Structure 1
Amino acid sequence: MLKKLALTAALVAVGAGAAIAHTSLETKEAAVGASYKAVFRVPHGCEGKPTNVVRVLIPEGVIAVKPMPKPGWILEKVSGAYEKAYGNHGTPTKDGVKEVLWKGGNLGDDEYDEFVVRVFLTPDLPVGKMLYFPTVQECSANAVERWIEIPAEGQSGDDLEFPAPGVKLLEKARGH
């Protein structure tokens, strides 16, 4: 019994270490039809190399994207057409930011940083589902970490090697 308990504790510790080893979102839940401050946590570089570029793909249904500039990094926003028009303060919005890049920085492999984007989660996003933001770290010497894997419908994603950061979509609270 004691061996089984020790093995379980060891597996939990290994799983917890793996969970923080990849790029993730600080806040794991957000309401649809509301603003969301997406804080992408980047815990290390790539294979011992410093991170020089962080790219975040903005999923469909996420609009009004406003990334936070970072000292020492160049901020770039890539715009494009949405699959459909979304209401934004009473105005139909057909295009906007589809990808955010922070470039030219130097996040050492033994360092941690956060990259922030404020967005609006449109009300027609599916409540109860996960929304994923595929993220890529580009590092010196052409090393790359691609956090882009999205679990199949009905799967948790715990077994993915390179999971995309995700947020669980909640129903908007009444009166907000």
Structure 2
Amino acid sequence: MKTLFLSVLSLSLLAVASSASAHATLEQKEAEVGSTYKGIIRIGHGCDGQATLKVRVEIPEGVVSVKPMPKAGWKLETQTGPYAKSYEYYGRTLKEGVKQITWTGTLQHEHYDEFVFRGKLHKTLAPGQTLYFKTTQECADGENAWVELPAEGQNSHDLKRPAPGVHLTKPSEHSH
């Protein structure tokens, strides 16, 4: 009886652990306003047992000069468009830039991978806010759209498919 209880307990702990890591998440969940942010989106599983064939990341307003990292064996595409406002960036005025990154390839359901990009968290962004990078995994039959945003005061853990977010902090004395 004790052995049965322990195996049920360990299975339920395993289920909790695997569901906790099931979301698309960002490795760095906090960054300074004005810094260059290296976004690492983690994909922990496919769609209901199917391989992930495409990973699409939407870039939020205020993240400029975005560059994705190519992945061996994956096709990389960026979609550019106008920003809602213009941003001063190293003596230039940026009015448009990368709005979406798409990696196309194959990630088996049993495997885990990371999709990397970097961008400048513009100095006009407000410390204390969270920027969300809506991420969609496409599979042969369906998708996992990690695009839900929490309402004011709501914990993102209460959402079924929360968008990965990075909490913005004040620039440190050393940043420029």
Query: Would you call these one fold, judging by a TM-score over 0.5?
Result: yes
Write the distance in 2 (CA, Å) between the matches of 1:170 and 1:82: 22
Moved more, 117-126 or 94-103: 117-126
> 2 CA distance for matches of 1:17 and 1:152?
26
CA–CA distance in structure 2, aligned partners of residues 12 and 122 of structure 1 = 41
Q: Which residue of 2 aligns with 1:68?
A: 69
Number of the residue aligned with 2:106: 106
Alpha-carbon distance between aligned partners in 2 of 1:128 and 1:14, rounded to the nearest angstrom: 33
Aligned to 2:133: 133
Please name the residue that 2:122 is paired with.
Answer: 122
Equivalent residue, structure 1, for 2:47? 46
By how many angstroms is 1:158 displaced? 1.4
> Are the structure 2 counterparts of residues 128 and 12 from structure 1 closer, same or farther at C-alpha, using a change threshold of 3 Å?
farther
Which residue pairs with 1:155 in the alignment?
154
CA apart distance, 1:19: 2.8
Q: CA deviation at 1:96?
A: 0.3
Amino acid across the alignment from 1:88: Y
TM-score with structure 2 setting the length: 0.89
Unaligned runs of 5+ in 2: 1-10
CA RMSD of the aligned region, Å?
1.8
Aligned length: 166
| Cα offsets for 1:23-71 (capped at 9, x unmatched) | 0000110011110000000001111110010000000000110000001
**Counterpart position of 2:78:** 77
Cα deviation, 1:70-106, whole Å, max 9, x if unaligned, reads 0111000000000010011121100000000001x11
Alpha-carbon distance change, 123 to 15 in structure 1, aligned in 2, over 3 angstroms: farther
Between the two proteins, what is the percent identity of the paired residues?
A: 48
